[in-house]
Amino acid sequence: MKVWLLFLLLTLSFLAFSQQGTEENVRLHFTPMIGDAHLVLNQRMETSAGAEVSIQTLRFYLSNVRLFAKGNEVYTEPSSFHLLDASEPSSMILELPESEGLKYDRIEFTLGLDSVTNVSGVFEGDLDPTKGMYWTWQSGYIHFKLEGQFTDSEKADDSFSYHLGGYRSPHATCQSIGIELPEAVNSSPSVHLSLDGFLSRVMPSEQRLVMSPGAKARDWFETAALTFPVHE
């Protein structure tokens, strides 16, 4: 145990030293929004359509992150997959390397994990099935998870649970997303993800529980992808 601790300390100090002299990384903040406000979990919030809602869980995977400058791909992140979890603020920030003399003007990534990553068997870090983003009875990752309830309803239970994903044809779900970055990208820009559109579809819907891959999950996933500001 002691050896471990020593090893950890040495590694940390090594990392600290090796970071010396390099610039700060670019930090891209993903900020979920409800109405005009930043999402706060487990709190009553009002959508732009006037519905009162409380969100318990928002988690999603981003993968294959690439950065562009003047139309050229200038950075491709290796082993690129990130679990963003609204209950862990630090996970909502994507750190990208600073590149001298280059201004990134566009970021592209995949919402969800591609089929190769899905069956890679990594099972560590963000891909650990204990993160609650894996269908254990049918190998595959949940790409996007949103759970909550409408709090102004007269129904006894007005809750919803969307576990969206799937990588098998014909219901494979992955969405390429490209976002133009503001000019002053080095100032840690924020990407606002509005949940209002998704919630306005949930409200009148009878499909409040989508928990397995298939046609329904794919359909709802496509709506979930619209929470991102620009998509292709």
Partner 1 sequence: MNSWRSYLVLSAMTVVVLFSFRQPSTSEESLSYPSHWPEPHYDFARNPLTKHKIDLGRKLFYDPILSKDGSVTCANCHLSFTAFTHVDHSLSHGINDSIGNRNSMALMNLAWSSSFMWDGAIERLDAQALAPITHPAEMGETLENVLQKLKASAVYPELFAEAYGNAAFGTRELLDALAQFQLTLVSDNSNYDKAQRGEYDFTEQEAKGYRLFKIHCNSCHQEPLFTTGKFENNGLPLDSTLQDLGRYAITDRPADSLKFKTPTLRNVEFSKPYMHDGRFATLREVLDHYHSGIDRNATVSEKLKNGIALTGDQKTELIAFMLTLSDRSFLFNPDFGYPRN
Q: What six digits make up the tokens of 31?
A: 């900020």
Site membership for partner 1, residue 156 (CB under 8 A):
no
Site membership for partner 1, residue 157 (CB under 8 A):
no
Site membership for partner 1, residue 18 (CB under 8 A):
yes
Site membership for partner 1, residue 226 (CB under 8 A):
no
The residues with which 209 forms a beta bridge, in sequence order, are 161
Residue number, 40 or 119, with CB nearest to partner 1: 119
Site membership for partner 1, residue 22 (CB under 8 A):
no
| Residue 28 near residue 191 (C-beta atoms within 8 A) | yes
Q: How far apart are CA 26 and CA 199, in angstroms?
A: 31
| One residue of 89, 101, 170, 204 binding partner 1 per CB under 8 A | 170
Site membership for partner 1, residue 136 (CB under 8 A):
yes
Site membership for partner 1, residue 139 (CB under 8 A):
yes
Q: How far apart are CA 86 and CA 143, in angstroms?
A: 14
Bond preceding residue 189 cis, omega within 30 of 0:
no
Q: Identify the sign of the CA torsion 91, 93, 94, 95.
A: negative
Residues that bind partner 1 (CB under 8 A): 1, 3-4, 6-7, 10-11, 13-14, 17-18, 20-21, 119, 121-124, 128-130, 134, 136-139, 168, 170-171, 214-215
